[in-house]
Amino acid sequence: MTDSQQWVAMGYIKGVFGVKGWLKIAADTEYADSLLDYSEWRLSKNGLHRNVILEAGKTANGELQVKLEGIDNRDEAFALRGHTIEIPREAFAPADEDEYYWADLVGMTVTNTEGITLGMVTNLMETGAHDVLVVEGGYGRKLIPFVSQYILTVTADSKTITADWGLDY
C-alpha cells in the first residue's frame, strides 16, 4: 500500500481486552464486524501512521474485539488506545447502483436546481430513517436528507451533487 492512496477512517481503538493483546474497537461502520473484512489496517495518531495486519477478530456482546499481529500483551495493546483505524478506499467493495460510501460523498460540492453552490459536504449523519448530508458553505450550514426527493444527481467524476434545496430551507 502506498501513501498516495486515499485512506478512510473507519473507527478507533477504544481499549484493551484481556492480557494477550486483544483490543476493543469502536467501529464507524454500519455493521461493527465489517472491519473484519479488511486484513490490513493503518493506525494513525498525532500525524504518525503504522500499518498492521489483522490476526483475529470477533464480536462479543455487540462489541468488536480484534487481535493484531505482533501485539501480544496488554501493555502493547494499551499503547494503541486512541489510534484511528484507516482502510484504503480502493479496498472497498463496489457500491451498488444508486448507493454511495460516505467517504465518497464527503468533499463533494452541492448545488441546487437554480445553480447556486450551497457548499461542500463535510460530514453525514445517520438519523435512523435516512442519512443526512451536512453541507457547509457561504450560505451557512445546511442539513439535506440524502433521499431521492431532494438529491437529484450525484456525479462521482466531477464530485458534484445537485439537490432540490432552497437557500432558505
Q: Report all structural domains of the chain as residue ranges with CATH numbers, in order of start.
A: 7-91 (2.40.30.60), 102-163 (2.30.30.240)
Q: 29 versus 76: which is more confidently predicted?
A: 76
Residue 26: per-residue pLDDT: 94
HSE (CB half, 13 Å, CA atoms) of 53? 4
Average of pLDDT values for 90-100? 87
Q: Which three cell numbers stand for residue 36?
A: 473484519
pLDDT of residue 137: 96
- When pLDDT is cut at 50, 70 and 90, the band that residue 2 belongs to is very low
* Helical ranges in 34-151 per DSSP H: 74-78, 102-105
Mean pLDDT value across residues 122-130: 89
What pairs with residue 120 in β-bridges? 109, 136
> What's the whole-number mean pLDDT along residues 71-85?
97
What pLDDT score was predicted for residue 80? 98
pLDDT band for position 1 (50/70/90)? very low
| pLDDT bracket for residue 95 (50, 70, 90) | confident
Q: How confident is the model at residue 5 (pLDDT cuts 50, 70, 90)?
A: confident
Grid look-up 500500500 returns: 1
Assess whether pLDDT exceeds 80 at residue 134. Answer: yes
Tell me the per-residue pLDDT of 14-55, one tens digit each, with 9 for 90 and over: 999 999 999 999 998 878 899 999 999 999 999 999 999 999
Mean local confidence (pLDDT), 122-144: 93
- Please list, residue by residue across 23-39, b when 16 or more beta carbons sit within 10 angstroms of its beta carbon and e when fewer do: bbbebbeeebeebbeee
Sole residue written with cell 436546481: 113
pLDDT score for 3: 54
**Is 43:52 a contact under the CB 8 Å cutoff?**
yes
